[in-house]
Amino acid sequence: MAELNLTEQPDLGDCVVIAAWAGWPDAAESATRAVRELIRQMRAVKFGSIDHEQFYVFTEHRPVVSNGPRGSRTLSWPTNELYYHRAPVGSGAKNVLLIVGEEPDLRWGAYTGYLASVARSNGANLLITVGALLDSVPHTRPPRVMGTTTTENISEILGQRLELALPSINYPKPNYEGPSGITSAMIEAFNKHDIPSVSIWGHAPHYLQVTYNPAITMAILRELQPFVQVDIDYSALEKQAEEFDKNLVKALEGQKDLTAYVQKLEERFDTEEEARDRPEPRELMLELEAFLRSERSPDDDLELDPPDPTDLTGQDDRDSLDVDENEPDSSDKEDTVS
């Protein structure tokens, strides 16, 4: 493993792995900024890196040159760094192994194999890949963050392996099919070691040409926090987001066409969120069965007929919603996906 450079072996015993990459899966730098903020706040220790030479096409992924004092010049190459945070004993927090880098161009199998090997040697119990994509969402609504998992019964597994009581983690399976990113390759590599995974993606407004969106970064961090059980200080990000919004309001003044477009996005966003919050008929049936079962006494031999799942009386009218499911800004990404 000459391309994998480790300065120490943390030997965490068990840990959660969180990984993000700059490039295609990092709209508005939201994902990598979130992981770097975790690294900063947890005072995570750098213990390794992956050599860039064999994993990039430099005519496509060019190094950056900068000028220093006294006429010196520095060439910065793509980096892939590994950090760890060892949770204090009795704190309830989790040991965390963090990976932040730039999506490689070549040899994804070898690249992800190195990272999976390090994770396994440190007792990884969960992989969380973090990304961000451009989507048709309005900046005037709370940032949308969505997760998926290829692991069955993820809440139960997290409870067994990490002693995390996260019943709300009911992420769906990804349904995307098409060109993939490094996140999918990473998940596949970890699956070979029987390490479950979830994928978290922030959705950034596609019409904003910005290099950084602090609101999306903050939303991603809030989604990550339950998995690592550490206190996160959001005050600096909240100030950045507030300033970002003020500047955005000024930039959009007088742009009637864009304002009208944002209003249409707001209407669609609100409709989608309303539909998302409505329980499915089958979920209602299961909840009713559980309630009736809890109300019965042990000696009650009355048999209750469960609701007929084919009876759709009172079913919500989501089928009539006019939602464009072929939106190109989100469907050509794998992101909400894996």
The verdict on residue 99 lying in a domain is yes
Tokens encoding 122:
């440190």
Name the one residue in this structure whose structure tokens are 């998995």. 227
The verdict on residue 183 lying in a domain is yes
- The string over 93-102, giving b where at least 16 C-beta atoms fall within 10 Å of a residue's C-beta and e elsewhere, is bbbbbbbbbb
Contact 25, 183 (CB under 8 A): yes
DSSP state of 318: G
Contact 52, 77 (CB under 8 A): yes
Per-residue pLDDT of the chain (338 residues; tens, 9 = 90+): 689 999 999 999 889 999 999 988 899 999 999 999 999 999 999 999 999 999 999 998 899 999 988 888 999 999 999 999 999 888 888 899 999 999 999 999 999 999 999 999 999 999 999 999 999 999 989 999 999 998 877 777 777 777 766 656 778 888 888 888 999 999 999 999 999 999 999 999 998 888 889 999 999 999 999 899 889 999 999 999 999 999 988 888 888 898 899 989 989 998 888 877 665 555 556 666 666 776 665 555 444 454 454 454 444 443 433 434 344 444 444 444 44
pLDDT of residue 296: 65
Amino acid at 287: E
Tokens encoding 56:
């990039």
The verdict on residue 166 lying in a domain is yes
Q: Residue 10 sits in which domain range?
A: 4-254+326-331
Name the one residue in this structure whose structure tokens are 């010196």. 72
The verdict on residue 282 lying in a domain is no
Q: Model-level pTM?
A: 0.78
Q: How open is the CA angle 167-25-150, to the nearest 5 degrees?
A: 35
**Nearest-angstrom CA–CA distance, 275 and 297:** 36
Residue 98: left if φ>0, alpha if ψ -120 to 50, beta else—which one? beta
The verdict on residue 287 lying in a domain is no
The verdict on residue 273 lying in a domain is no
Domain count of the fold of the chain: 1
The verdict on residue 160 lying in a domain is yes
The verdict on residue 76 lying in a domain is yes
We report the CATH number of the domain holding residue 123 as 3.40.50.10900
